[in-house]
Structure 1
Amino acid sequence: MTDKPNDPSTDAPGRAGVNSTTDPVSPRPVGEPVRSPFDSPTEQFNTANVAPTERLTKELPRTDDELGLDPEVPLYSELKNSIPGASNSTGSDITPTYGFASIPPAPAAPAEGTRPFRRDERRGTLDLGLLLLRLVVGGTFIYHGLQKATGWFNGPGLDGIKTAMENGGWKHVDIAAPLLIAGELGGGVLVVLGLATPLAAGAVLAVILDAWMWKQGMVEGFQYSAKANSTELESVLAGAATVLILTGPGRLSFDRSRGWATRPFLGSLAALVAAVAAAILTYIYLHGGNPLSGIGPFD
C-alpha cells in the first residue's frame, strides 16, 4: 500500500486545480477513481482559507456551550444517581424505572370472550320483581283512594269517609279526609310509575300506619288476626311500602337515573324515618289516644 500525498500543493494527475483558490474544480477525467476527503484523516472540507499549521492543531469542542448542548437536560449520570439502588449497580445498562414516566401504563386487556365484572349489570330479574311489587302496592292504594274520592268500587265517597272517620274518633275531618285521599291516590300513582319513589312510598306508608293505629286502638289486645277488626292487611301493606323505600323502584321506573332507584342509602333511610314520624304526629294531632293499649307492656 502506498501513502497518499497530503501536500495540498501537489496535485494528482488529472486533478489540476483542485486546491486552487482561483481555478474552480476541474472535471474529473474519464477513468480516474473517485476520491473523497475522508480518504485521508488529515484532510478537511473547505480548507482553502485555513493555514496548514492550524489544520491539525485546532482544538476540538469540549464544553456544553461549544457542543451546543442544552444545560437544562439532565445528564445520564444524574439520572442514574436518582434511581434507587442504581448507583451501586455494576451493570452498564440502566433502564429508567416507572418513576420517570408521566403517563401510567394502560390496563391489560381482558381475555377474549370475557368482560370486566360490573355488579349493576348482574341484577337478573330484580327490576322485574320490583315493578310487580310497585304495581301491587300502588294499585291497592289507588283502588282505596278512588273508593274514598269518587265512590267507585262500592266506596263511601268523600262524604261517607268523613262520616266514618268522625264516628271513629278522628278530629278535623275536613282536613283529615283530604289528607287520607291524597296520600292513597297520589302516593299510589307515583309508586306505580316509580317517580319520586322515596317520597311516594313514604306517603302511602304514613297513611297505612295511621289506618293500622286506628284499627288497633279501637279494641284492646293485638288485632292482627282478629275476626272483626283485623290489621293483617295494613301490616302487609306497611311492610311492602317499607321494602320499596329501602330497595328503590328499580330500573323499570321513571327514577331509573336516580341513585335511589338501584342503590338507595341514607336518603331513603331518612325518608323511612320521616314517614314513621309523620304518621305518629298525625295520629296524635288528628285522633289522639294510645293505639297500643291492651298490648303487653303498653297497657
Structure 2
Amino acid sequence: MTEKPKDTTEPSAAQRSTPTMAEQSAVSSTGRGVSSPFDSPTEQFPRLSKDVPRTDDELGLDPGPDVPSVGADTPTYAYASIPPAANAPSDTGRLRRRNGESRRGTLDLGLFLLRLIVGGTFVYHGLQKLTGWFHGPGLDGTRDMMDNGGWDHPTLSAILVTVGELGGGALLVLGLATPLAAGAILAVILDAWAWKQGMIPGFQYNAGVKSGVELESILAGAAAVIILTGPGRLAFDRNRGWATRPFAGSFVVLLLAVAAAVGAYWYLHGGNPFTGIGPFD
C-alpha cells in the first residue's frame, strides 16, 4: 500500500512563523503589528461607495437670499462708519459742581444779597402803602397822594403801585418767578421816576431835592440787572434756566417791563416827564 504524497502547498511551521514581505514592511513602518488595512500607510484605502456631498443642494441646505454681486454700477465703500453713541444725559447741577464744570464762586451769594436789598426795600414801601406801618400813609393816604399828584385814576393807581411793590418785592426776596417779579418792580419804579422827574422842568437827579430821582434810578438799574442775570442758585427758581443761564427771555421781559411802565404812565397820568430836558423844552 503506497503512501500518499504529502501536500507540498501546506506551509511548514517555519514558513508559518516567518512574516511576509508586506507584513514586514507594515511592521517596520508603524512599529507595531498590523490589524487592519487602515493601519498601514502603504495600503490603499477602500473606495467609498458614494461621493461626499460638496454643494448646498447635495447637503439639503437653504441657499438663503441672493447677494448681489459688486459690479461697475454698484457703489462701494472703503469702510463702514458707525455713528458714535449718544452722550448720557447729564445729571443735575450737583454733578456738574462735583466735576468742577460750573464753579460760580460767590456769584450766587452776591445775587441773593442784591435781591434781598432791592426786594426788601420794595416790601418796606409796599407795607407803608397797604397797612400804614413804618409811618406810612396807608391805602387811603396813598390814594390821596396819587390824586394830589395828578394821576387821573387815583384808586387804580394806588392799587397797582401797592401790589407791584409788595408782591414784586416779596417774590424777589424769595427768588420765585424772578423775571416777572423784577419786571413788576421795574415798571413801578419807572413810573415813580417819571412822576418825580415831571414835577419840575429840567433833569432832577439830585437826591437832596424833593423831585430828585437818584434813588429811583438806582433801584430801576438794580431791577434791570436782576432780570438780566437771574436770581442765582440761592432761590426757589434755582432749577429754572433763567436762574443761572438767562438769555433771550431776559431781554423780552426787560422790554415788556419798560413798555408796561410807559403804557401805565400814559393812561394813568399823562404828560411828558422829560419836559425841559434838551430837545423836550
TM-score range, shorter chain: 0.7 to 0.9
**8 Å CA contact 2:26, 2:42 repeated in 1:** no
Take 1:3 and 1:236, find their aligned partners in 2: how far apart are those partners? 116
Partner residue, 2:143: 162
Cα deviation for residue 104 of structure 1 reads 3.4
**Match among 46, 54, 64 for residue 61 of structure 1:** 54
Q: Deviations over 1:211-234 (max 9, x none)?
A: 000000000000012631210000
Show the 5 A alignment for 1:133-282: 133-225=114-206, 227-228=208-209, 229-282=211-264
Give 1:266 deviation, angstroms. Answer: 2.2
Unaligned regions of 5+ residues in structure 2, if any? 1-23, 28-32, 88-94
Q: Distance in 1 between matches of 2:171 and 2:43?
A: 95
Query: Among residues 25, 28, 31, which one is paired with 1:2 in the alignment?
Result: 25
CA deviation string 1:124-148 (max 9, x = no partner): 2111111111001100100111111
How far residue 40 of structure 1 moved from its aligned partner, in angstroms, is 9.0
Are the structure 2 counterparts of residues 42 and 150 from structure 1 closer, same or farther at C-alpha, using a change threshold of 3 Å?
farther
- Contact kept in structure 1, 2:172 and 2:178, CA below 8 Å: yes
Q: Which has the larger radius of gyration?
A: 2
CA contact (8 A) 1:256 1:262 kept: yes
- Following TM superposition, by how much is the alpha carbon of 1:271 offset from its aligned partner in structure 2, in angstroms? 1.2
| Whole-Å separation in 2 of the counterparts to 1:210 and 1:250 | 27
Give me the whole-angstrom Cα distance separating, in 1, the residues matched to 2:49 and 2:150: 122
- Please give the secondary structure, in 1, of the residue aligned with 2:125: helix
The alignment partner of 1:293 has SS state of coil
Tell me if structure 2 keeps the 8 A contact 1:209–1:234.
yes
Q: Look up the match of 2:91.
A: none
Question: How far does the alpha carbon of each residue in 1:137-192 deviate from its partner, in whole angstroms, 9 at most, with x for none?
Answer: 10010011111111111111112111111111112111110111000000000000
| 1:148–1:155 contact (8 Å) kept in structure 2 | yes
Richer in helix (by share): 2
Instruction: Check conservation: 2:56, 2:63, Cα contact below 8 A.
Output: no
Tell me how many residue pairs correspond in the alignment.
241
Deviation at 1:67, TM superposition (A): 8.6
Whole-Å separation in 1 of the counterparts to 2:44 and 2:280 = 116
Q: Could you say what the CA RMSD is over the residues aligned between the two structures, in angstroms? A: 3.7
Aligned-partner Cα distance in 1 for 2:216–2:105: 30
TM-score, normalised relative to structure 2: 0.73
TM-score by length of 1: 0.69
Q: Which has the higher contact order (CA 8 A, sep 6+)?
A: 2
Identity of aligned residues (%): 56
Runs of 4+ in structure 1 over 3 Å off:
1-4, 35-43, 62-75, 81-85, 103-107, 115-120
Q: Are residues 105 and 216 of structure 1, via their aligned partners in 2, closer, same or farther at CA, if it must alter by over 3 Å?
A: closer
Match of 1:289 in 2: 271
The aligned amino acid for 2:258 is: V
